[in-house]
Structure 1
Amino acid sequence: MKTNLIHIAILLSFSISALAQMQSFSLQEVRLTKGAFKNAQDVDLNYILALNPDKLLAPYLIDAGLPLKAERYGNWESSGLDGHIGGHYLSALAMMYASTGNAELKKRLDYMISELARCQVKNGNGYVGGIPQGKLFWERIHKGDIDGSSFGLNNTWVPLYNIHKLFAGLRDAYEYAGNQQAKHVLIGLGDWFIDLIKPLSDDQIQQVLRTEHGGINETFADLYILTKNKKYLETAQKLSHRALLNPLLEKQDKLTGLHANTQIPKVIGYEKIAMLTGNTDWSDAAQYFWQNVSQKRSVAFGGNSVREHFNPTNDFSRMLRSNQGPETCNSFNMLRLSKALFLDKADPGYLDFYERTLYNHILSTQHPEKGGFVYFTPIRPNHYRVYSQPETSMWCCVGSGLENHTKYGELIYSHSDKDLFVNLFIPSTLDWKEKGMQLNQTTGFPYKNETELALTLKKPQVFSVHIRYPKWAGNFVILVNGKPQNVIGEPSTYATINRKWQTGDKLTVRFTTATQLEYLPDGSNWAAFVHGPIVLAAKTSTTDLTGLFADDSRMGHETKGKLYPLDNAYALIGNEDTYRSKIKPIEGLKFRLDSLTLQPFYEIHDARYQMYFQTFTPAAYSEQKARLKQQETEALAIEAKTADKINCGEQQPEVDHAYKGEKSESGYDDERFWRRTRSFISYELQNRNRAGKFLDISAIDDIKPEQVSFVINDKPAEILSVDGKTIRLKVNDDEVVKLKIMAASGVNTPRFNQIRILTH
């Protein structure tokens, strides 16, 4: 074969900057063919079809004053976040339709858009929304009447976050499914919002942005892309939260204690605005954030946060103890940010994190048969996860969960003007009509370390195929039509093959994988086994799986089962070499670890599991084990006598306990969250089985009864004791304890950090 006719060059592209802008393929161009991701897509499709569009539309019809066709769903859809799932549902319908071509999805999408358009016409000013008493709420904002905290704006639950889901759903309906009416409704809604905030100063807008608002800045950047009208881009910049952006611009880590999923969508917006304006400082800020979260704050499976907040980078102990581990919404948004940065920078290093999170967190957060979605994924040994149900569960992670499994084809491949990039080893087909090229990827990965790429072309063409050389791969080999090529280079780059391709050409990629111990980022002695990109874990039991499939209660997304002592968890004793030598291959990706069987975490469902293992040297084992046992005994003893508790200043616990307040603020100091007020704050606690006798309130500052008053169920509380930073109040045998804390003379109360109902 003459080299002037066919030229084959294998090289490692350490930078793709010389190439044209990296672009993603549309979901219509990529189809999943088999494997775990195809199964997850199919199961998600069934969950999507199990939901009733008229129930999801009900909050919008209520707000517009139109007759209902069905009663709205319960749970979060009728307790303050009304309408948010409807926005996610639009996105899920649009992307699943693009990924599958299922006609029923398009029918539902078109119907929902037409109903939303009807609501918009009825409202008469471009507005459409499902927020409870939305018109009154927005009128207060328009007048500059703003009293906000991290999740409550004028005592309304994250209203901008809520309406952002509709903005995004309308955008996706147009972008992925070509619905022109969605574009019209979206522009009308955007214009209404611009008019809404027109009287507000920049300071007032920043005050509004203190409350979680999703990616509202990204929404207006998208409107600029759609219309090229600069007013939308200006609004996007105006709606970018400076309290987060400014430290990122200075490369300062101010993330600890912040509500994690509040921040990530903002950064996606910064990156999109940077792309549109050429503002490299904002793009650098987005990269700094991504680097910080992905490398310093994420656990082995790619998730981050404990009880929804960023924990200190040097201390993951609270995450290890908590039943509220990393939140699925966080990873949903970190993947969106990773994709944006990858397409901007053409750096395959972003794909290492993307792949790890996709396989181990996203894939694991859907029940592979029943389709329920997971909110929290605890890393606490011997704990478990809770799954949603279509009729009972309307959490935020149900909304993002509906979307997660619709778009697995978004980054399997990408392209420049001329070349093709193979990014992930997932069974799929690519139809690049513009180039007259089809590609079929056949692979058993991660169970088999090989993938085959078969090409079909309308005519022979010269171009490059860039195959990602993953960070975790060893002995990376590429064959073209059965002939090995000389691959020289390093992981986290691309192997590039340039030649004249024709129908029937096949590329075979082979590699080896190894099992490594990956420690938590805080440097502690807790580690997970990772085989290639796959996190391994062990099923430990199926006992005490209380609430495994969630009911419709406000906190149904949290596990209610017993916390098993950490000191009873399996531990590794020895050194780095002996830890790894303990695991023995069985078959596929299953390994024996003494009495345990390790397997891919995404395969483990309906069971307690252990993902992280404490490692000890023989000399340290006894002492450290005893210390851990004492800590566990004390912690579990407190939990055993707790009927209910609130961590003040943390978003979800406060929402779960019906927080209300005026002139209140929250924060994070001394590794504790807190809330204080110059007026009042109130909560509702559940006195389970009416067993509670005392209400203990703790603060970071000394509590002085003359400066603060307490009311329980509309009566002055009986103070039993005051001890510096703790006050104990008497609780009667009411099932619901309504606590109101009031400041004296407009002076700030102490910074309260926890409230507990105790049985003894």
Structure 2
Amino acid sequence: MKASRRQWMVGVAAVALCGVAPRGFAAVVKPVMPLRATPLPLNDVRLEASDWATAVEVNEGYLLSLSPDRFLHNFRKYAGLEPKAEIYGGWESDTIAGHTLGHYMTALVLTWQQRGTQACRQRADYIVDELADCQVARGNGYIGALGRKTKDGDIVDGITVFDEVKQGIIKSGGFDLNGSWSPLYTVHKMFAGLLDIHAAWGNDKALEVLIGLAGYFADMFDALDHKQMQDLLGCEYGGLNESYAELYARTGNARWMQIAKRIYDDRVLDPLKAQEDKLSNFHANTQVPKLIGLARIHELTGEQPPATAARFFWDTVTQHHSYVIGGNADREYFSDPDTIAQHLTESTCEHCNTYNMLKLTRQLYSWQPEAALFDYYERAHLNHVLSAQNPHNAGFTYMTPMMSGAERGYSQPGEEGFWCCVGSGMESHAKHGDSIYWQGEDTLFVNLFIPSRATWKDKGVALSMATDYPFEGDVRLTLDAVKSSRFALALRIPGWSKGAVALRINGEVATVTPVNGYVRIDRRWKAGDVVDYSLPLDLRLESAPGAPDVVSVLRGPMVMAADLGPVEMEWKDVEPAMVGEDLLAAFHPIVSDRPRYVTRGIVRPGDRNFVPFYSQYERRSAVYFKRFSEAQWKQEEAAFLAEQARQKDIAARSIDIMHLGEMQPERDHNLVSDVSYPVAYRGRNGRDARSGGYFEFSMKVVPGPLLLQASYWGSERGRKFDILVDDVKIATQELGEDRPGKFFDVEYPLPEALTKGKNSVRVRFLPHDRSSAGPVFGVRVFTAKK
């Protein structure tokens, strides 16, 4: 990254990230490329037929199928007004109610901008009117649907959470604040939705409602000292700092910027300002919006440390914590850098994370256009975001699994999950045209190759892009109308292309001279001019960060996946691996309207067809493959057979097996629990218990020496718990990151005095204070070897 930034200017020292030139800069020499850029307004970009356009159309239908009044139920109820429709279920019936409405408002705005759908604008204005009525009824500036759970399990108006916070009563965990699920995260979604409606068409009432809401929370923040503020920010708060900074930009009221700067989590953000990667074990999506907020503060104040933190975070996440599809995190948490090969599970790549990473990418690009930023954007946009919507039913994923054979699991629009990634999904698939074209001074950047039409109003230019990319490598740009005849067209040269691109202007071969990752064409243009741009789409292998022998297959920007069959068929086969020296030579194209290949002789246990990963909506896939030489594969087979023999021996000696996290086995073993939850991880079900809880169940025993075996996953965050048999502690177990990144078994001898004369015993897992027990992925009792 640093090298490319140095190449950006000719004979000029680097400028600040904010893009503000040193005094007298323009008089010395003008940069080859603009120092800042902005995307063409979404209103001025229209998508042509493609999977992107289909996604927007399908999403629009979904948005219009939803009821604003159902989302508004709690807002009206808690304001003392009669609801107009029943509340939605799922998360909207939990204490996090209201977060979806914020996403929905933004998605309506984006759809109106992308497609001109008046019904979306009308709905957004209606929602603002309803919220204004609720605000008047409350009389204190507050509006909200979020709830708070009482000791009896009832959910009541969550405003009491903030009343307590003002008094310094702050019981804050990662996702719980005084009995409410991430309430400030939910508040941020409302801020964002209102800001977007105000910006889109000047709805002044949206800004008035937001100012009242912002004032209510500003009073709460003003009542807290620094320590109390840090305690409060220990609970997820979304990008509330960004919203206050943006409110400052809209109003000029310095109070809002003061609040924005106070919404600063020392524990997470101080190391990033110091350019230290301490992200391991932090919840990923909780952090990304904080950096988007810092980036906005930098843009408005010119302060450098927030920019340093934002850029370092982006570099760190994209280079050391991201999967090949551009997503990040396992079970929603960052792991150690360069360890994702140890975290190929069914719980990877939460969509919200990538949604926010793309927002951060756009911000960084606006400060200083770099093609490398859009190399990441394109990868995540194509392979993760496009895969996160099922175009057949408008469902959204929460996670996009990197574990071979795992099902994606889409929401069902006829049902009412409304988890966070449904909300960010509504937004992502409303705006696929928003980053194709960027403008900077006299330069029009083309960063994404998506069939579209665009108008560059500043220059009176209309153009269209025709392409079947990423299936084919040819892109044609046609100047449909030109007013200002001289300007520069900058076409991104993807990093994976190694510069092997070709260019023709009006049929004539043109020289490609890269400038910081772009082909820059500066000339006088006229209507009817045509630019043909060709990109190579060769297959290549890419290793996982930190694991050179774990590879994925890509074709241009597109991740290719081994097709493992329909989701209706349970996956029970061995995880595919690749064996051989020249792997790519064994890929043979299949005649198809989309890229498809079949392997011959390299995939174990058998050859597979490879297809675009994103399109595997209702099929199972393999994306990552362990790579072996023939000699290594023989050793792997031997180890596999030895493990099978061990499991067979234990099975022969087994007295009882408990499959935790599964309804019928838990019922058969009379499981009882408190503050305990079933989990699923890497294809195995299990159960854990949180601090203050436990789980307990019966296991059969026989006379003689016995062993109790429990299965765990290595590399857990620190856990410590006791194991008791008939109320007698037989072991204390600790789990931590020093364990191997795989499932492992621990055997505990059962004292014969505890089992003598019994047919069964009660086994209890009891967490230590402020710790968790497990997860435990199965328990069995078997006889000791004689």
TM-score (norm 1): 0.83
Whether 1:363 and 2:386 are equivalent positions in the alignment is yes
* Identity across matched positions, percent: 32
**Secondary structure at 1:325's aligned position in 2?**
coil
Query: By how many angstroms is 1:703 displaced?
Result: 5.2
State the alpha-carbon separation in 2 of the partners of residues 697 and 621 from structure 1.
27
8 Å Cα contact 1:214-1:266 kept in structure 2: yes
The offset of 1:403, in angstroms, is 0.5
Q: Paired residue for 2:745?
A: none
Counterpart check, 1:88 vs 2:106: no
Q: Which residue identity is paired with 1:486?
A: T
Among 141, 161, 167, the residue aligned to 1:126 = 141
CA apart distance, 1:530: 0.6
Q: In terms of mean alpha carbon deviation, does 52-61 or 137-146 score higher?
A: 52-61
Counterpart of 1:511 (choices 532, 535, 546) is: 535
Q: Which amino acid aligns with 2:72?
A: L
Cα distance change on mapping 1:430 and 1:629 into 2, 3 Å: farther
Measure how far apart 1:456 and its partner are.
3.0
| 1:107 alignment partner in structure 2 | 122
Sort the Cα spacing of 1:339 and 1:627 in 2 relative to 1 into closer, same or farther, 3 A.
farther
Quick check: 1:23–1:415 contact (8 Å CA) kept in 2? yes
Matches within 5 A, 1:329-728: 329-390=352-413, 391-457=415-481, 459-473=483-497, 474-489=499-514, 493-542=517-566, 544=568, 564=572, 568-575=574-581, 578-587=582-591, 588-594=594-600, 595-627=607-639, 641-644=658-661, 681-682=692-693, 719=727, 721-725=729-733
Alpha-carbon distance, 1:488 to partner: 2.8
Residues 259-268 or 479-488, more deviating: 479-488
Shift, 1:159, TM fit: 0.7
Give the deviation of 1:392 after TM superposition. Answer: 2.5
Deviations 1:356-414 (A, max 9, x none): 00000000111122111011111111222101122322111100001111111111000
Say which SS state the counterpart of residue 391 (structure 2) adopts: coil
Give aligned pairs, total. Answer: 678
Q: 1:20 to 1:723 in 2, by over 3 A?
A: closer
CA distance in 2, matches of 1:657, 1:417: 62
Q: Could you say which residue in structure 2 is the equivalent of 1:669?
A: none
Residue 749 of structure 1 deviates from its aligned partner by 5.6
The letter of the residue matching 1:378 is P
Whether 1:60 and 2:75 are equivalent positions in the alignment is: yes
Preserved contact between residue 700 and residue 725 of structure 1 (Cα < 8 Å): no
**Structure 1 residues without counterparts, runs of 5 or longer:** 1-11, 546-561, 646-655, 661-673, 711-716, 731-736
Deviation digits for residues 686-722 of structure 1 (CA, Å, limit 9, x no counterpart):
99xx9999998999676579xxxx9xxxxxx952543
Q: Distance in 2 between matches of 1:598 and 1:372?
A: 24
- Please say if residues 97 and 103 of structure 1, whose CA atoms lie closer than 8 Å, have aligned partners that are also in contact: yes
Distance (Å, rounded) in 2 between the aligned partners of 1:59 and 1:195: 23
Tell me, yes or no, if the aligned pair for 1:85 and 1:396 is still in contact at 8 Å: yes
State how far apart, in whole Å, the 2-side matches of 1:535 and 1:129 are: 42
Q: Is the CA contact 2:476–2:532 (under 8 Å) kept in the aligned structure 1?
A: yes
Which of 1 and 2 has higher RCO (CA within 8 Å, sep 6+)?
1
Q: Which runs of 4+ in 1 moved over 4 A?
A: 628-640, 656-660, 674-677, 690-705, 739-743, 748-753, 755-760
Do structure 1's residue 293 and structure 2's residue 305 form an aligned pair?
no
Alignment RMSD (CA, Å): 3.4
Q: Which amino acid aligns with 2:727?
A: I
Shift of 1:249: 1.5
Q: Is the 8 A contact 2:459 2:483 kept in 1?
A: no
SS at 1:484 equivalent: strand
> Are residue 28 (structure 1) and residue 21 (structure 2) matched?
no
Q: Is the Cα contact below 8 Å between 1:412 and 1:425 reproduced in 2? A: yes
| Distance 1:313-1:532 versus aligned 2 partners, 3 A rule | same
- Post-superposition offset of 1:485: 0.9
Query: Who is 1:557 aligned against?
Result: none
SS at match of 1:292: helix
Distance 1:564 1:316, change over 3 A: farther
Measured in 2, the distance between the counterparts of 1:365 and 1:459 equals: 40
Q: What secondary structure does 1:421 align onto? A: strand
Whichever residue aligns with residue 516 of structure 1, its letter is: R
Distance 2:622 2:264 in 1: 40
**1:410 partner SS:** coil
SS at match of 1:475: coil
Q: What code does the residue aligned with 2:471 have?
A: Y
Q: Which residue of 2 aligns with 1:4?
A: none
Q: Cα gap change, 1:306/1:510 in structure 2, threshold over 3 Å: closer, same or farther? A: same
Give the Å deviation of 1:570. 2.2
Are residues 634 and 535 of structure 1, via their aligned partners in 2, closer, same or farther at CA, if it must alter by over 3 Å? Answer: farther
- What is the SS of the residue equivalent to 1:293? helix
Higher alpha-carbon Rg: 2
1:696/1:620 Cα in 2 relative to 1: closer, same or farther (>3 Å)? closer
Distance 1:136 1:759 in 2: 47
Checking the alignment, whether the CA contact within 8 Å between 1:174 and 1:180 is kept in structure 2 is yes
Gap change, CA 1:757 and 1:20, over 3 Å in 2: closer
Q: 1:234-253 residue pairs with structure 2 within 5 A? A: 234-253=258-277
Counterpart secondary structure, 2:501: strand
Deviation, structure 1 residue 334: 0.7
- Amino acid paired to 1:139: D
The answer (yes or no) to whether the contact 2:341–2:545 under 8 Å persists in 1 is no
Displacement after TM superposition at 1:434 (Å): 2.8
Matches within 5 A, 1:176-255: 176-255=200-279
Change (3 A) 1:159 1:580: same
Summarize deviations over 1:194-233 as a string: whole Å, max 9, x none. Answer: 0111110022111111111111111111101111111111
Per-residue CA deviations over 1:28-66 (Å, capped at 9, x if unaligned) read 011111111001111111111121111111121222121
Partner of 1:15: 8
AA of the residue aligned to 1:572: M
Asked if structure 2 preserves the Cα contact closer than 8 Å seen for 1:13 and 1:494, the reply is no
* AA at the equivalent of 1:480: I
Counterparts of 2:589 and 2:7, CA distance in 1: 35
* Partner SS for 1:330: helix
- Counterpart contact for 1:53–1:108, Cα < 8 Å: yes
One-letter amino acid matched to 1:346: P
Tell whether the 8 Å contact from 1:216 to 1:236 is kept in structure 2 after alignment: yes
Q: State the one-letter code of the partner of 2:626.
A: Q
